[in-house]
Amino acid sequence: MSEARTVLVIGGGAAGNAVTVLLRRAGVTVSLVEARDDWNATRGSGITLQGNALRVLRELGVWDQVEASGFGFGSLGITTPDGTVLHVQDDLRTGGDDLPATVGMQRPRLQQILIEAVRASGASVRLGTTAEILHQDADGVRVRLSDGSEHRYDLVVAADGMGSATRAAIGITDKPEPTGMAIWRVAVPRPAGVTRTDVAYGGPAYIAGYCPTSETTIYAYVVEDNRDRAAIPPDTYADEMRRLTGHYGGHWPEITAHITDPAGVNYTWFDRMLVEGSWHRGRVVLAGDAAHCCPPTLAQGAAMSLEDAWVLAQLLTAADTWDDALFQAYYERRITRVRAVVEASVQIGRWQLDGVRDADVPGLMARTMTVLRELP
């Protein structure tokens, strides 16, 4: 870049935090606004990070912290509902042979690591703050923040999640759509024998699985048909999850015994969305869940968001001119890869909803992961 640039990043999740760090490293002046006062630093149970996500985290300079905080492993177990192991397959190292295939970690810990990286980058951060696009022209965007102040930026990166208000404000009408499934998640102590992800298909839920997230913790989950969330009182969440997990064997009885606090249980519908055509309008560009979201059946949601940030930052920092051609190049570089992940993630769930017994789930997973081994 031949001149100083200013960027507003809306949203402090994986995509927003990552693009902030990468742009600041290149000398771009970045302001980040996040609607939540707590910067989402205490929310969530666990997250599965595959190699292509770890590759971006290493680029951000936080791999050492992630490695120290998480639990690395390299295989996936397929079990029957009673806990009998049917098959163990090695995970593909999508980030390259010098990174683990998979790291599980507590989601709040990952967020805290990214927050520390943003703070250290020197970016301006405003929490409890939202942004409204007032006007844009060929050279920049006028924005009003919820504190009443108005600012002009050369670019706005909308990384404000799948319910993105910015996406709607710039005229992109795509919205997340339910896939028909929902997931219960909880963080609990790690049984001594859990050293990888194990997944059971069938039983009272479509999927029951767990992932180690540290030396002492795991997160466990069960997937069922989505239900009216308003009809499930939050104080019954632990009871509802135990009702499902209580039918599974192996390590599940020990896991189930720890599902006691309803406040620690999360219930979420699966959604899917993919914005087609372009991810920008003028000088407002979408990234992460604001542009695409999918069920976690491939555990690639955070990875796709981190990759968006990496690719967008590469293009922005290498270009002297920020224009439609550059923003469209970002979309073209991402869309085929992201579409493959969204479609595969949705297809795995659809096979289960439709009761397809001979579905080639392992084959679809392997084909998709092979694509992800290539650089984004």
Q: How confident is the model at residue 43 (pLDDT cuts 50, 70, 90)?
A: confident
pLDDT (0 to 100) of residue 60: 98
pLDDT by residue (tens digit) across 187-217? Answer: 999 999 999 999 999 999 999 999 999 999 9
Q: Pull the structure tokens for residue 312.
A: 């967008």
Closest CA to 274 of 335, 223, 227: 335
pLDDT (0 to 100) of residue 4: 82
The larger pLDDT score, comparing residue 251 to residue 43, is at 251
Give SS3 for 226.
coil
Q: Strands across the sheet with 131-136, in order?
A: 131-136, 141-145, 150-153
The answer, as to whether pTM is greater than 0.85, is yes
Query: Average pLDDT of 71-86?
Result: 96
Render the burial of 289-319: b for 16+ CB within 10 Å, e for the rest: bbbbbbbbbbbbbbbbbbbbbbbbbbebeee
Percentage helix, strand, coil for the chain under 3-state DSSP, each rounded to 5: 35, 30, 35
pLDDT (0 to 100) of residue 349: 95
Q: How confident is the model at residue 3 (pLDDT cuts 50, 70, 90)?
A: low
- Domains of the chain in start order, with CATH, are 6-70+107-176+272-353 (3.50.50.60)
Q: How confident is the model at residue 151 (pLDDT cuts 50, 70, 90)?
A: very high
pLDDT by residue (tens digit) across 81-119? Answer: 999 999 999 999 999 999 999 999 999 999 999 999 999
Q: Is 1 a residue whose pLDDT tops 60?
A: no
Instruction: Mention every residue, 6+ apart, whose C-beta is less than 8 A from residue 208.
Output: 81, 199, 200, 220, 221, 222, 223, 244, 245, 248, 252
Q: Pull the structure tokens for residue 259.
A: 């599902």
pLDDT (0 to 100) of residue 302: 97
Rounded to whole angstroms, how far apart are CA atoms 152 and 212? 45
